[in-house]
Amino acid sequence: MEHELTFQKIKEQVELPELLRHYGYTLKKGEVLGKGKWHVFEGDDTLVVFKGRGGDWMYFNAQDDRDKGSVIDWMKNRVNSGRISGIAQAPDRSVWQAVNDHFRAYLNLPEAQRPQLDLPPIAETAPGEKFHSIYTRNCRPLENTAYLEGRGITKSTLALPQFAGRILNQFHTVQHPGMPAKTYVNTAFPAYHEGRVVGLELKGEGFKGQAPESQFSRSLWLSKLPEPGPATYLLVSESALDALSYAQLHAGDTALYASTAGTLTQNKIFELKRLLTEAGIPTVRAAFDNDTQGHYFDTRLLAGFARADNPMKVVREHERLLTVEVTTNNVASLQALNDKLKVYNAAATVQYYQHSGTTAGKAISPTLRNELIHSVQSAPNTYQFHVPINRDALGAFNQAAIHSLAFEHQVEIAKSQGKDWNQDLKQDQLQRVVKQQLGEVDEDQYGFGQLHWDNPRFEGDGKMPPHKPEQQRTPRLPR
C-alpha cells in the first residue's frame, strides 16, 4: 500500500550511489576517490556523495550550494526542477507524493535492472600521513608564507616537522567580465576528523573564511606528533595561528597542537579525548583566548573532561549567567571548590565598594549580587553554580574547579597576557627589538617589563581531595 513506503524505509532501502547511476550519473575517476570520505558523481551536475553521521547517504551539489541533503532531498529537488528526464510531478500529485511515486517505481524494478555499483573502498588517513580531500584539490604545499610571517610566525617555526603538510597554500582565481583573471593565494589550515580532512580554514590579508561545506562542528586542525615522541601534552587553542604562536613562544616543547577554529562543541571534545587516548598523551592544555569567550571555552572543556565520579555539565546559559552543575559524593571536593569561590566573592565585593565609593550596608547591592558566583543544592549530592559570564568570574570558577575536582586526563589552563597568543608573540618580538636597540636598560620604563609575562599556568592533576566519611556534611556554599 502507498502509505507503507516511509521516508525512513527509503533511506534504508535506496543506496544513493546506485540511484544516481540509474539516472545516468557516472562515478568520477581520479585521485580523490578512495583517499578521502567522498565519492564524486557527474551527470547534469557534479555531486559529492558521502555517509552522514547517522550512516545515511548524503550529498551536496558542487555547483549549487542550495542543492544538498539526503537521498530524499535529492529526489525532491529533481522533482521540483524537472531537469532529469523521467523525474516529474504528475498534475494530480503533490511534490512529496511524486517523490514517493518515483522511489516506489525504482524499488519495484526487477533486481537485474537495478544497478549494482561496486564502490572503491574509502581508506582512513591516519594523523601524520599524506591526505587527499576534495577540500584540498586547489591547494599546494606551503610556499607563500607572507601572511604567517606578517603575523610573527618565523620560517624556522613553520619548518618544524610537526607542521609539515599541515599548513597549505590555497589558490583562488577570480574572473570578472572584461578583466584579466586574478589569482589569490590564501593560507589554508585543513580540519581533521578521525584522520580525514573534512574542511578548510582560510586566512589572508584582510580575509578569513572557510571552504564551502566544511564540517567544523566536529573537526580540529592538527599538527603531527612531535619527533621524537612522545608528546607531553596536547595544546588546544582557538586558532591555528595561536597554536603556532604558542609553539614559537615555547620552543622545545614536545606537544601535539590543535585548533578548534573558534568554536568548542561536544563533538570536538570527544575528538580531543580520542587523540589523547590513542596517542598516549597524559595532559590536555587549554590555551584559549584571554577574553570572556576563551574562559567560557575553558569551562566547557572542564565539563567535558570531568570524571564519571564527579560529573560536571553546563545546564543553562542566559545572556549574562552560566549555570554549571556538579554531582559528587565527595563532600571534601565541593567544600574545597566552595572555599575558593568564597575568596573570589570576597575580593570582588571589596573591589566593588572601592570602585563605587560606597560602603557596605545591611542589604547587598543588586549590581554587586550580579557580579558574584552563587550556588544552590538542587538535589542530593548535586549543586548548581551560577557564574556571571565575564572573564573574571569564569576564570575564578575554572581555577577553583581545576584544583578541586577530578578529570579523566590531567587538565591545564594556560592564558596569554594579551588577548591571544599571537598578540603575546608580537609583544615578545617587540620586546626583543627594544633590547637590541636600547641595550640592557630598565625595561619597565618602556612598558615591556618582565612582570608582564609572569602569567602562571593552572593545572589539575585529576585527583580529588581525600574522601573523609566523618566530614559528610552539607558544605557552606557562597551566596
| Domain presence at residue 253 | no
Q: What is residue 266's three-state secondary structure?
A: helix
**The predicted structure's pLDDT at residue 121:** 52
> Is residue 338 in some structural domain?
no
- Asked whether residue 274 is assigned to any structural domain, the reply reads no
Burial class (CB in 10 A: 0-12, 13-18, 19+), 120: exposed
For residue 290, give every residue at least 6 positions away whose Cβ sits within 8 Å of its Cβ, in sequence order, or none.
391, 415, 416, 417, 418, 419, 420
Last residue within a domain, chosen from 71, 94, 113: 113
CA–CA dist 59, 162 (Å, integer): 33
Give the strand pairing for 233-237 and 255-259.
parallel
d(CA 335, CA 43): 66
pTM of the predicted structure, to 2 decimals: 0.67
The tens digit of pLDDT for each residue in 5-49 reads 788 888 888 989 999 999 999 887 543 444 446 788 888 888 888
The whole-number pLDDT of residue 54 equals 63
- Alpha-helix runs per DSSP H in 163-307: 240-249, 266-279, 292-305
Tell which of 113, 136, 161 closes a domain.
Answer: 113
What is the tens place of the pLDDT at every residue in 202-230? Answer: 998 777 888 877 888 889 999 999 887 78
Residue 64 lies in a domain: yes
**129 falls within a domain:** no
Total domain count, the chain: 2
Ordered per-residue pLDDT tens for the chain, 479 residues = 344 578 888 888 898 999 999 999 988 754 344 444 678 888 888 888 877 656 778 888 877 767 888 899 999 999 988 888 889 999 889 998 999 999 999 999 887 777 777 665 544 333 333 445 677 778 889 999 999 999 999 999 999 999 999 999 988 788 788 888 888 899 999 998 877 888 899 998 777 888 877 888 889 999 999 887 789 999 999 999 999 999 999 998 999 999 999 889 999 999 999 999 988 999 999 999 999 999 999 999 999 999 988 999 999 988 899 999 999 988 899 889 999 999 999 999 999 888 887 777 777 888 889 999 999 988 888 999 999 999 999 999 999 999 999 999 999 999 999 999 999 999 998 888 777 777 655 544 444 444 344 455 665 554 544 444 444 444 444 55
Contact 217, 265 (CB under 8 A): yes
Q: Residue 120: what pLDDT?
A: 58
Check residue 447 and give its pLDDT: 45
Asked whether residue 11 is assigned to any structural domain, the reply reads yes
Rounded Cα distance between 101 and 419, Å, is 58
Asked if the structure places residue 10 within a domain, the reply is yes
Specify if 50 maps to a domain.
yes
In the block, cell 606551503 appears at 142
In angstroms, the Cα distances linking 110 to 9, 20, 202, 213 are 18, 17, 49, 36
Residues 171 and 183 sit within 8 Å (Cβ to Cβ): yes
Residue 436's domain spans which residues? 423-453
CA distances from 100 to 11, 18, 20, 94, 111 (A): 12, 17, 16, 10, 19
Examine the fold and report which residue of 113, 135, 169 is the final residue of a domain before the chain moves on.
113
